[in-house]
Amino acid sequence: MDREHSGENCLEDNVDDASDDMSISNTNDGLEFENMWKHVMDTWQRQQVEAIVQLLCYIVNLLWLLNIQAMIIGKPFSSINAERDALRHKLMCELTANEVICRDILRMGPVAFAEFCGKLRATGLLKDFRRATVEEQVAKFLQILGQNFRNRALGFFFHRSGETISRHFHNVLRAVVALEAEFLNQPTGADVHPQILNNNRFYPYFKNCVGALDGTHIRVKVPRELAPRFRGRKEWPTQNVLAACSFDMKFTYVLPGWEGTASDSRILKNALDREDKLLIPQGKFYLVDAGLPLRSGLIAQYRGVRYHLNEYSRRRPQNAKELFNHRHASLRNVIERAFGVLKKRFPIIASGTEPHYSFETMIEIVLACCIIHNFLMGVDPDENLIAEVDRELMHAEADHHVGTSGLATDVDYRIGVMLRE
């Protein structure tokens, strides 16, 4: 009995101990849960506060930006466009109202500018846009040619994007090139040029001469792997441009696009054989320098005899050959003057810096410059510019390069000699 009573007491003690342990465990779990819940609530409240603060910051920044925008703009977009249109209109008025400013910036006078815009409009390739007149587009084009401006710099003055400037430039370029048939006309040889006919120094000896022929180098931008083909006389890549002009300094034939390493003789052969070839009327001739072959249709100076004009400034011609060379140089000098005026008027083709445009575009730019040059020589020749070029040529060092070429056949050479004699 005592053993059973003792066993019951032990069982009751174990149950009590287990009950106490469970009570303690439940209490600990409750405290842990309470702490975890409190941590969750604290974290949520902190994130909520941070989100509210961040939202307030966004609102403050947005209000600040709206305030700045209101300060800068202060007007609806329609008013902004109207204001920019007014600024461009004012700029165009200032460009074309003053003869000196117009000639300095657009490279022609106001009257010539208006006539030129009319011719481009007549091609149908250049039209007025809602916010860009033909006159504005042409003015930007002429400033790029005449001032060698970049699109971004020009866009600043006209309140235009660089993309808009570029688009307008190429629109005008296409329209100008379309005038080639009107302004680049080869001579027929039907009439003797007045400069020869009315001067007994040249008539009748040069009555069959229709102009002068020569080449010039213009810098281009080409891929690095192609640069050696274009690097000829200069330190940088160039295109060799062959051109002929009449005695009124108008270009009659222009062949751009040849590599700077190509010889004048090679380019001339191509010019005489291609589809749009250089035409030499029957029985007529061009004056050329010694770097081109002596053949029928081309007459160069006597080799080994004084030739350049400044060589005769100190001592007059002493014999028939020197007299011929002196008069030959006096007439052939017109092509050098034409190139000089062309490059002086349009620095984009005279600059030593790398062009902003591709090689293909520079070919069209050269052609466009020659077309505009011919137009201006007819309506607005700018005697001051011509006089400046003449002074530079007078003070330039004589170039005594003497070239030979195997291009001409013996028959051609003999005919050339007979013509010269």
The answer to whether the beta carbons of residues 370 and 180 sit under 8 Å apart is no
- Angle, vertex CA 416, rays to CA 414 and CA 417, nearest 5: 65
Report the pLDDT value the prediction gives residue 411, as an integer from 0 to 100. 44
Contact between 128 and 134 under an 8 Å Cβ cutoff? The reply is: yes
The DSSP call for residue 224 is G
Average pLDDT, the chain: 84
Are the beta carbons of 415 and 297 closer than 8 angstroms? no
What's phi and psi for 231, nearest 5 deg?
A: -95, 95
Decide: pTM greater than 0.85: no
CB 377 within 8 A of CB 289: no
| Residue-wise DSSP of 288-336 | --TTS--BTTEE-PPTTS--SGGGGSSS---SHHHHHHHHHHHHHHHHH
Convert the pLDDT of each residue in 87-116 to its tens digit: 888 999 999 999 999 999 999 999 999 999
Low-confidence ranges of the chain (pLDDT < 70): 1-31, 33, 66-78, 307-315, 397-421
